[in-house]
Amino acid sequence: MVPSILFVCLGNICRSPLAEAAFREEARRLKLDAVTDSAGTGNWHIGSPPDPRAQAVALNNGVDISGLRGRQVKPADFRRFTHLVAMDHDNLANLRRIAPPDATAKLSLLLDHVEGRAGQAVADPYYGEDDGFDVTWADVTDGARALAVKLLRHKI
């Protein structure tokens, strides 16, 4: 079965699109066949492109996310994807709360997949300075790399 991963944050304009981009790059590098997308638990940014600062940090790291658009998590996502990966505890709790009874996706935090970082949240850069996006990029890159390796080795 081809793994399919939905990365989830609150608004789907910062952390989750960056995680989606980092994972796509890592999957490409490892030649891992996987489906990926991102979404938010909130509805404020449906149809919006990623935050310009997120676009800039991704582009500085060789990835163009300008074509991504915000969307909200839907009940069907819990069956469509094999994994729903939240960026923080609040969004993980929201996913658990809205999961339909027939949900099949495994839920986790992104950094749960990084050795020594289980239980940690990806830094939310939205209300901070531009350099916070570099910290977030480092977090999602670490998480994406670890998740891709686990999926490649069928460890999850």
29 carries an active-site annotation? no
Within a 13 Å sphere around the CA of 59, how many CA atoms are in the beta-carbon half?
11
What are the Cα distances from residue 43, in Å, to 15, 18, 46, 133? Answer: 15, 18, 6, 22
Distance CA 128, CA 30 (A): 33
14 carries an active-site annotation? no
- Among residues 14, 15, 71, 112, the one annotated as catalytic is 15
Distance CA 58, CA 15 (A): 11
- Among residues 124, 139, 142, 145, the one annotated as catalytic is 124
* Residues annotated catalytic, as ranges: 9, 15, 124
